[in-house]
Amino acid sequence: MRLRTAFSIVLCLLGWAGSPLTAQAQGNYEIQVYPYETVERGHTMVELHSNFTFQGSKSTDDGTLPTNHQLHETIEITHGFSEWFETGFYIFTSAKNGQGWGYVGSHIRPRLRVPPKWHWPVGVSLSNEIGWQSRRYSADTWTWRSARSSINRLAGGISR
């Protein structure tokens, strides 16, 4: 019985380890999954997100630059306005041999969460993101992503 259990565990681990190799890629500028917590009131957080497109488009079918082997550097500046509200601002850039370094666009993302003093058993946050990106990099120059939510179980469970 132990050999069968060990074999099952190893098989599951191999399947799990191999799955990212066949998974579909996320968007070129998708950079983060947000936690429940927001930036503390009066504080500003600055982050640099880097990603590289190993396999992307190789032609300009829709008039945008090919994404194959593009490097993307994104600056995210997030400020906390209260214990339950923050706003993030993104500056997207792209670099590729033959294309040079370019400004892609900017987005703004307000996000609010259920305040901790409400003592919910899970943390819930909701955000919207609106922004512009250059036609050279995206067929959709204006985008709005609404109702992105995050739900996390709080470490302490239900507290009253």
pLDDT, one tens digit per residue, over 5-55 is 554 555 444 444 444 443 344 456 665 677 788 999 999 999 999 999 898
In this predicted structure, what is the pLDDT of residue 145? 81
pLDDT digits over 91-126, tens only?
999 998 888 899 999 999 999 999 989 988 888 888
Q: What are phi and psi of 45, to 5 degrees?
A: -115, 135
pLDDT reading at 133 higher than 60: yes
Give the C-alpha separation, 118 to 115, whole Å.
6
Higher pLDDT, 67 or 158: 67
Whether the model clears a pTM of 0.75, i.e. scores above it, the answer is: no
In this predicted structure, what is the pLDDT of residue 26? 47
Give the C-alpha separation, 69 to 120, whole Å.
44
In this predicted structure, what is the pLDDT of residue 3? 55
In this predicted structure, what is the pLDDT of residue 148? 61
In this predicted structure, what is the pLDDT of residue 99? 84
Residue 136, sorted as left (phi over 0), alpha (psi -120 to 50) or beta, turns out to be alpha
Contact call for residues 88 and 76 (beta carbons, < 8 A): yes
Q: Smallest Cα–Cα separation from 111: which of 45, 38, 30, 49? A: 38
pLDDT digits over 55-70, tens only?
888 888 788 888 889 9
Q: Smallest Cα–Cα separation from 82: which of 41, 126, 132? A: 41
Give the C-alpha separation, 53 to 57, whole Å.
9
